[in-house]
Amino acid sequence: MNPETVLALCHEHAAAEAELDMERVLSTLVPDPRFEYLPLGRVMAGWAKVERFYLEQYPRFVRHVVGFELLDEWVNDHAALQEYTITVAHNEHATHHVVSIMYVDQGSELVTGERLYCHEAFVRVLLGPLYDLLEPIDT
């Protein structure tokens, strides 16, 4: 895939998230997606877990978001990297710096998942009760 196609897919995924169109979000993913959280070293992998996150938890999470700024983005033939800040109001207002790398499967032209570099406190707010579904990343 060329960088423009990768970026268009990642923007489609993000736009569907912003519009809370979870079926559209899920349609951008491969059948076995993988979301890694670093430096926490934990992963949410597999369709059932990711689908549950998007259908049940993601709509709850966005209610806590009070600010968002895309700082920059970079793209190549295999992935798009986005750097942003997200301010959440959960127990107290906190601004989190997040770097997300969204990977694209070259065969299916779908998102294979994301690797998010962020603080554990952000992951806990993002995943809510699904935080306990995280598993260690295989080394």
pLDDT tens profile 24-63: 999 999 999 999 999 999 999 999 999 999 999 999 999 9
CATH code of the domain containing 59: 3.10.450.50
DSSP letter for each residue of the chain: --HHHHHHHHHHHHHHHHTT-HHHHHHTEEEEEEEEEETTTEEEESHHHHHHIIIIIHHHHHTTEEEEEEEEEEE-SSEEEEEEEEEEEESEEEEEEEEEEEEE-TTT-SEEEEEEE--HHHHHHHHGGGGGG-EEPP-
Domain count, the chain: 1
Q: Provide the residue range defining the domain that includes 16.
A: 3-136
Q: What is the pLDDT of residues 86-114, one digit of tens each?
A: 989 877 767 888 888 889 988 889 999 99
Task: For the full predicted model, state whether its pTM sits above 0.85.
Answer: yes
